[in-house]
Amino acid sequence: MVVGDFPIETDTLVIGAGPGGYVAAIRAAQLGQKVTIVEKGTLGGVCLNVGCIPSKALISAAHRYETAQHSEDMGISAENVTVDFSKVQEWKAGVVKKLTGGVEGLLKGNKVEIVRGEAYFVDNETVRVMDENSAQTYKFKNAIIATGSRPIELPAFKYSERVLDSTGALSLKDIPKKLVVIGGGYVGTELGTAYANFGTEVVILEAADEILAGFEKQMSSLVKRNLKKKGNVEIFTKAMAKSVEETEAGIQVTFEVKGEEKSVEADYVLVTVGRRPNTDELGLEQVGVEMTDRGIIKIDKQCRTNVSNIFAIGDIVEGPPLAHKASYEGKVAAEVIGGEHAEIDYLGIPAVVFSEPELATVGYTEAQAKEEGLDITAAKFPFAANGRALALNNTDGFLKLVTRKEDGLVIGAQIAGPSASDMIAELGLAIEAGMTAADIAMTIHAHPTLGEITMEAAEVAIGSPIHIVK
């Protein structure tokens, strides 16, 4: 092993080059810092390589296939529609390659030093970076930890060729005939839907009362109903997965639902029951960084740990494991280090599921607002009353606007419907800018667009709806 004799000095050291780390590095460099970023894997982290981006590419391809087969309502029919799954995977890999190459170009363009290897804290000013062949010490003024998370492995479902995590499910060489999904959260629902659209028989096992438990029931119920309408998806809620056995054909999963033990055979089982923070091999005990029992790093409003020059962002701190949350926190941490006033405020952070229909939420839900004792108005407008949704032949869903009754201030919104993932941005901006329902209602929205639904819901909120009867 070659060992560096002298420490290399840097202003800001970022550990992890995912959507939190690389954004933090770029922002710190823009603010005049000498920045070094350390990554043991591929630039872009889980999101770009084996998460957000490849999953959405697979979902998009599956949706195209499903639409090609089922557009008879619009007078369009196609025969012998086929899938070359190896080409789907090749196309997906190309999307990933473009984005990861773009990240490298952005880092280099901002003069960020990229170092490959694993970082281990020696003290609160020093890390040791090691790879297979060498080790080097880096001395820093400030550090940002952005090491992300990994899938939780269930003791009874050890990962193998047949027991998959999300990475394995995205890398299959062939479309499975049957797939069991343990966990009906956003990852399980998204990937289960994608494979169902490719023609796979899918069985979803969810321990909670509903799939997509983080969303309002009226939203998740739409997704559940549409999955069942496909005819090749079976959903068990309040179901506990117990064991898996390999068979000649694939696997057999045993589970319990309503006190009854059942079993199902399939080609694969996908386990999506949450993620674990990557904080266990960094040497954080060397510097006394405070963590919870789950390995979550404790931070303040400026993403600062109890060690004043060490910051933490993304999946390793409290909150949902969302790429855009990590990027947001990365900018806050970099700006605090750069001497600017910045602190985190999560009210305007959206959450999105690329299900059918898409779900998106930002700010308070109606129930959360009432729990906080807020006097609110919940105004709802259906996609079925929107011209663009009718023209798309996709009218399932609604937009709900949550406003403060005293002044109409927008404090939350939920969308279930086509392009909900894009539409939620306007409502996040409304919350961030302190806008009222009247502000949105008076903003001219192009016709015919799905965006008009936001305006229409705002008109409902102020008591003057045009396209539904008051």
User: What are the binding residues for FAD?
Assistant: 56, 147-149, 315
The burial class, CB within 10 Å (0-12 / 13-18 / 19+), for 208 is middle
What is the DSSP secondary-structure string of 264-311?
Answer: EEESEEEE-S-EEES-TTS-GGGTT--B-TTSPBP--TTSB-SSTTEE
- Angle, alpha carbons 16-21-23 (nearest 5°): 155
* Known binding-site residue numbers for NAD(+): 183-190, 206, 274
Strand duo 376-382 + 239-246: pairing: unpaired
- Please indicate whether residue 324 is annotated as part of the active site: no
Q: Which long-range contacts (CB under 8 A, 24 or more apart) does 198-201 make?
A: 198/62, 198/65, 198/66, 198/83, 198/85, 199/83, 199/175, 199/232, 200/175, 200/176, 200/232, 201/177, 201/232, 201/233, 201/234, 201/266
CA distance linking residue 413 with residue 435, whole number of Å? 13
The catalytic residue among 63, 445, 447, 467 is: 447
Angle separating helix axes 186-197 and 52-69, nearest 10 degrees: 40
**Chain-centre distance of CA 326, in angstroms?**
10
Would you tell me how many other CB atoms lie within 10 Å of the CB of residue 41?
A: 15
- Residue 78: phi and psi, rounded to 5, are -135, 145
**In which region does residue 250 sit, left (phi positive, over 0), alpha (psi from -120 to 50) or beta (all else)?**
left
Question: What gap in Å lies between CA 149 and CA 278, rounded to an integer?
Answer: 5
Contact assessment for residue 4 and residue 117, using Cβ atoms and an 8 Å cutoff: no
Residues at the binding site are 56, 147-149, 183-190, 206, 274, 315
Residue 408, phi-psi category: left (phi > 0), alpha (psi -120 to 50), beta (remainder): left
Q: Catalytic positions, please?
A: 447
